[in-house]
Structure 1
Amino acid sequence: MDMKLRFAEKKDLSLVLQFIKELATYENLLQDVTATEELLDKNIFQEKKAEVIIGEVDGVPMAFALFFSNFSTFLGKPGLYLEDLYVKEEYRGQGFGKQILSFLANIALKREYGRIEWWVLDWNTPSIEFYKQIGAIPMDEWTVFRVTEDKLKLLANG
């Protein structure tokens, strides 16, 4: 099967949200999804804070990746941060994930980015093994911190 990759368009909003919810279901995190088509439209298509690519086989959407630019002070260059990569279950194990990562690597090189980064849940052994096979290095010595909702408001108020 041949996969075609394309950048998402505004008409794909419901599809993007569907993929987000499918990924969240796979990760047992559906209850945490508060994204709406309106929020995605504002942040992806109007304000261009992120980009989305869609993978299709025979015209059927079967994968997506959402990414945005970050910056490395050590490299002095921007990087590509991959927020989500999702391939529908029936299409897994056929090389489509690697094709998507290759597509993103080409974007990073074309834009003169210094690296691509992403997170993966500790229990997601199939993904971890796949990422190691393509040469990705786990950053085990780093701990992710997050401030959200009420704590974010408290922090903002000093």
Structure 2
Amino acid sequence: MAVDVRWATTEDAAALAAMLCEMAVHYRQPPLAAERALAAARKWLAEESPAYPHFALAFVAGEVSGLASVAIAHPGIDLERLLFLKDLFVRGEARNAGIGRALIGFLADHCRRHGIGRIDLTTEDWNEGALRFYARLGAERHGQKIVLRLSGESLAVAAKP
């Protein structure tokens, strides 16, 4: 099966929106309204810089089958940029068919061609399939970091002077 992975463009808004809706359900979130997801996808894709795209999509036979949402961060203490993989999602019926591997390969190749030294990512502790997938790729667990979040009220409090 041939998997076509590419950076999403504004023409891919409907495909991105469909993946966002499916991903919300998979990650145990309330279902997203399709119109809201499409509006967000259109907005995000229109705002992207060609130098730092944010979404890679995987297609099989013209149908969207996978999504990678990324951010590229500039140098830290090692003076190498890093690609942060926020989400990697493959549709349920397309899992275990090489789509996740194709997305990671696409991202790793992008990193190597653009001098990006590593890919960092997180996954839920309950997501055994993801943990096995990343272990097969050779991903190392780093217990040095604790994930913290500012959202909702805490974000509003942090925004106040």
Counterparts of residues 74-93 of structure 1 (less than 5 Å) = 74-93=77-96
Q: Give per-residue Cα distances to partners, 1:34-72, cap 9 Å, x unaligned.
A: x64444433332243752121111111111111111134
Aligned length in residues = 157
Which amino acid letter does the alignment assign opposite residue 80 of structure 2? Answer: K
1:114 to 1:27, Cα distance in 2 relative to 1, 3 A: same
* 8 Å Cα contact 2:14/2:41 also seen in 1: no
Relative contact order higher in (CA < 8 Å, ≥ 6 apart): 2
What are structure 2's unaligned runs of at least 5 residues? Answer: none
What are structure 1's unaligned runs of at least 5 residues? Answer: none
Q: Give per-residue Cα distances to partners, 1:98-124, cap 9 Å, x unaligned.
A: 111011001111110111011100000
Aligned to 1:148: 151
Identity of aligned residues (%): 24
* 8 Å Cα contact 2:8/2:56 also seen in 1: yes
**1:140 deviation in Å?**
2.4
Aligned to 1:125: 128
The range that moved more, 97-106 or 66-75, is 66-75
**Match status 1:114 vs 2:124:** no
Separation of aligned partners in 2, 1:76 and 1:105: 18
Aligned to 1:20: 20
Separation of aligned partners in 1, 2:32 and 2:86: 15
**Match status 1:66 vs 2:52:** no
CA RMSD of aligned residues (A): 2.1
The range that moved more, 35-44 or 78-87, is 35-44
Q: Give per-residue Cα distances to partners, 1:119-157, cap 9 Å, x unaligned.
A: 100000111011011110122232101111221121121
Tell me, what secondary structure is at the counterpart of 1:74? coil
* 8 Å Cα contact 1:65/1:84 also seen in 2: yes
